[in-house]
């Protein structure tokens, strides 16, 4: 319980520091202080946020507070190997999440638009080369996929688990949505954050969440690239939404059909991933038991030879495998109550990001 309390306290404090520095950096960008870097200002901003604040804060600062080695912190976050089959399935899952995300974000943006919010329309660039595509994939897909997941599905989710599994998933997902500090991104980012938290708990690894996050962002970037360069994916994207917007009834029916199909695909993929992970857990448990039994047999044989005996009795391997599997499950603990100071910092963090997000809506209305 004491270790859980320390993990929770350090995680909340680390996240608070990250948020304060992120807000300060956003203010510097808004007031033009980063313009002195010229065309590299956006690159400098992304590197600072992703690498220094998110990665550095969640890994180095948290390790410093805990007095842990970096590798121990990464293991604590859930950087555990997954099978090739799960990797392939999570890539497909990322594609499904991206398509669902398009509908969810469009619906939410329509709602806030009805309330008077004027969306910030970013025009398509006149040209979009492969060099720009590569840069955007690195800074807007790869870095967020790794760094943002280490913070939210690694540090926060793991440290909040003593509060209860679902509470940890919801809180870390809600913080993920608020960290974007943008009303247009808040809703769908929160939904994705909650789903990625569930996926991380289901697979007992942070890598599937990283893959889905990267795939979602990468597809969004590639669709823009395709639209600018008149590639098939971009043309298909624009054709579909042209049909949907041309007739309300037809558009509503098409959207409903697509959402149902995507929702079922999401369920089927998660079910398949869970079964594969369970199989891998059983295999890992069996390997651990086999190593343990082999070691026990060796020492028993030595002991028997010393005592002049020939028979040795070893535990039933099936029972040992079951014990190993139960060891993978969280044990029942007494109710965890965080320190008042940590709770205060957590709610201040919520309030700060929440106020900024609400103000982005107010500014959009005014």
Answer for the pair 193, 176: CB distance below 8 angstroms, yes or no: yes
Q: What is the mean pLDDT of residues 219-232?
A: 93
Q: Give yes or no for residue 278 having a pLDDT over 80.
A: yes
Q: Which of 156, 185, 190 is nearest to 173 (CA)?
A: 190
Q: Is 150 exposed, middle or buried (0-12, 13-18, 19+ CB in 10 A)?
A: buried
Tell me what pLDDT residue 337 has: 81
Is residue 125 scored above 80 in pLDDT?
yes
pLDDT digits (tens, 9 = 90+) for 304-318: 655 655 555 555 555
- Give the pLDDT mean for 199-219: 95
Of 195, 209, 215, 207, which Cα lies nearest the Cα of 79? 207
What percentage of the chain has pLDDT greater than the value 90? Answer: 54
Q: Give the pLDDT of residue 73.
A: 94
The gap between the terminal CA atoms of the chain, to the nearest Å, is 49
Quote the tokens at residue 346. Answer: 């957590």
Q: Does the structure show a pLDDT above 70 at 193?
A: yes
* 325 has pLDDT over 70: no
* Encoded tokens for 275: 């079964």
Instruction: Look at residue 293 and tell me whether its pLDDT is greater than 70.
Output: no
The pLDDT mean for the chain works out to 85
Residue 175, pLDDT score: 96
Q: Is there a contact between 147 and 47 (Cβ–Cβ < 8 Å)?
A: no
């Amino acid at each position: 319980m004491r270790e859980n309390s320390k993990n929770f306290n350090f995680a909340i404090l680390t996240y608070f520091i990250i948020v304060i520095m992120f807000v300060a950096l956003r203010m510097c960008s808004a007031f033009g202080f980063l313009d002195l870097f010229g065309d590299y200002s956006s690159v400098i901003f992304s590197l600072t946020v992703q690498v220094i604040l998110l990665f550095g804060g969640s890994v180095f600062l948290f390790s410093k507070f805990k007095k842990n080695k970096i590798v121990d912190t990464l293991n604590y976050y859930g950087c555990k190997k997954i099978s090739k089959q799960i990797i392939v399935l999570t890539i497909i899952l990322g594609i499904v999440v991206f398509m669902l995300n398009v509908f969810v974000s469009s619906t939410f943006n329509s709602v806030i638009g009805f309330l008077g919010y004027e969306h910030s329309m970013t025009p398509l660039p006149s040209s979009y080369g492969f060099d720009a595509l590569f840069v955007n994939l690195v800074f807007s897909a790869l870095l967020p996929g790794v760094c943002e997941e280490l913070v939210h599905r690694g540090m926060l989710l793991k440290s909040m688990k003593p509060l209860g599994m679902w509470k940890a998933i919801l809180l870390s997902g809600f913080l993920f949505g608020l960290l974007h500090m943008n009303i247009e991104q808040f809703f769908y980012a929160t939904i994705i954050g909650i789903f990625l938290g569930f996926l991380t708990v289901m697979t007992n690894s942070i890598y599937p969440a990283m893959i889905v996050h990267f795939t979602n962002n990468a597809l969004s970037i590639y669709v823009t690239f395709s639209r600018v360069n008149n590639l098939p994916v971009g043309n298909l994207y624009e054709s579909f939404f042209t049909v949907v917007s041309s007739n309300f009834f037809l558009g509503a029916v098409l959207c409903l059909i697509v959402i149902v199909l995507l929702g079922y695909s999401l369920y089927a993929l998660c079910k398949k991933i869970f079964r594969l992970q369970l199989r891998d857990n059983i295999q890992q448990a069996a390997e651990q038991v086999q190593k343990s039994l082999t070691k026990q047999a060796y020492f028993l044989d030595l002991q028997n030879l010393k005592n002049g005996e020939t028979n040795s009795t070893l535990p039933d391997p099936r029972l040992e495998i079951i014990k190993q599997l139960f060891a993978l499950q969280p044990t029942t603990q007494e109710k965890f109550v965080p320190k008042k100071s940590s709770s205060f910092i957590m709610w201040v963090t919520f309030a700060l990001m929440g106020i900024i997000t609400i103000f982005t809506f107010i500014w959009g209305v005014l």
